[in-house]
Structure 1
């Protein structure tokens, strides 16, 4: 059983996408980040950066003590290896081919973690959450988010998915960050390959199940945040 510490955000969706696709048994433990649940000692013991998602695998492959994993990219890699699916390695690949295929997936997984997620997140912060309009920041992060969409669009030219013809954790990492802010949407019109890819993933039954969890866990998902919630999320210094 996988204990998933989750809240319906783009990073949270990454993990439910994989769990629903892989069919791994899991239990959701909501972490209400607007109320500060991410700072509770029990959660910090498994996620010291006070960010969700995090998991605890109660039945690791080595048969030993439970394994906890934080950081969404590390969780995706761990769970895909556990399931033996969506790793980016084709069935029957020899060692050399497997190494090369895995490298491609990891490149794009880390690209999302270091680029698409943080830059799109800053775009969202200054267009949706910031208490005042900061024109420079809005323009800076809009341009960078659009640049990254261009990178993704070029990568998807002639490919069904990011790593090739097979759906992988690279796609699951990127998908929630494309079109994440409905109240301040980025213009996807110039990115035909991204639109086609996004529509294909949205149509997957596992994607629909994963996103249906948002309203179950947080019925207020999608509503504007209160000033108190913004203070909890964005007003923290060292603790």
Structure 2
């Protein structure tokens, strides 16, 4: 395994265990995706907290790893060919970890792409739309008097939840009987929608039996319980 000293991010967040995968994150929905996956996979890793309160994500060291200044990001000392690999975007990281281990993604080629399509559905739709609803419903409720933004994103969140509810009808998980990165990409956002954002009632989340059953299963997995608190 190559040393990580050439990566500027390790100067701000030194690696105590440079032979382990380095995680730079915070316990947001996108951050939890990766910590929960790492816990599920049992990969040795070291977690570093990127604090928004001190704008850690805007520091030159973090930007050297992720120019998009968002968490999570990883630095794997044992990447493809044994060379270090730096990676950002939670969906890309989930896919990389699944391919690295051969777990949490179907082996069948067609089913693999079906799993990836649901991962992309979360990345391009559910996550951004839930985030916008959270902004206007939770963060900017007293700043934006026009009801249109909240109504728009509430309606879109409802539509996306209906898609998920239908998909889970007769299925234990999004891909059927097996828990995959598709599930891991979605359930932290369901947790935040009904919890931190306080938007469960206006989106009808509590009335979706399939989603509620599935969410309870996903979020109560031992790896998920650990993942929601990483980094501490």
Q: TM-score normalized by structure 1? A: 0.83
Question: CA RMSD for the aligned pairs?
Answer: 1.3
Counterpart-to-counterpart distance in 1, 2:49 and 2:230: 11
Q: Which residue of 2 aligns with 1:17?
A: 36
Pairing 1:1-239 to 2, within 5 Å after superposition: 1-64=20-83, 66-89=84-107, 98-130=108-140, 131-133=142-144, 134-181=146-193, 182=195, 183-186=197-200, 187-213=204-230, 217=232
Query: Structure 1 runs of 4+ off > 4 angstroms?
Result: none
State the shift of 1:191 in Å.
1.3
For residues 109-168 of structure 1, what are the alpha-carbon distances to aligned partners after superposition, in whole Å with 9 as ceiling and x for unaligned? 000000000000000000111151341111111110111000000001111110111000
The answer (yes or no) to whether the contact 1:3–1:56 under 8 Å persists in 2 is yes
State the shift of 1:43 in Å.
0.8
Q: Secondary structure at the match of 1:146?
A: helix
Counterpart-to-counterpart distance in 1, 2:51 and 2:206: 34
Counterpart-to-counterpart distance in 1, 2:81 and 2:98: 16
Runs of 5+ unmatched residues, structure 1: 90-97, 218-239
The answer (yes or no) to whether the contact 1:56–1:68 under 8 Å persists in 2 is yes
Q: TM-score normalized by structure 2? A: 0.85
Aligned pair count?
A: 206
Runs of 5+ unmatched residues, structure 2: 1-19
For residues 40-73 of structure 1, what are the alpha-carbon distances to aligned partners after superposition, in whole Å with 9 as ceiling and x for unaligned? 1111111111101000001124112x10010000
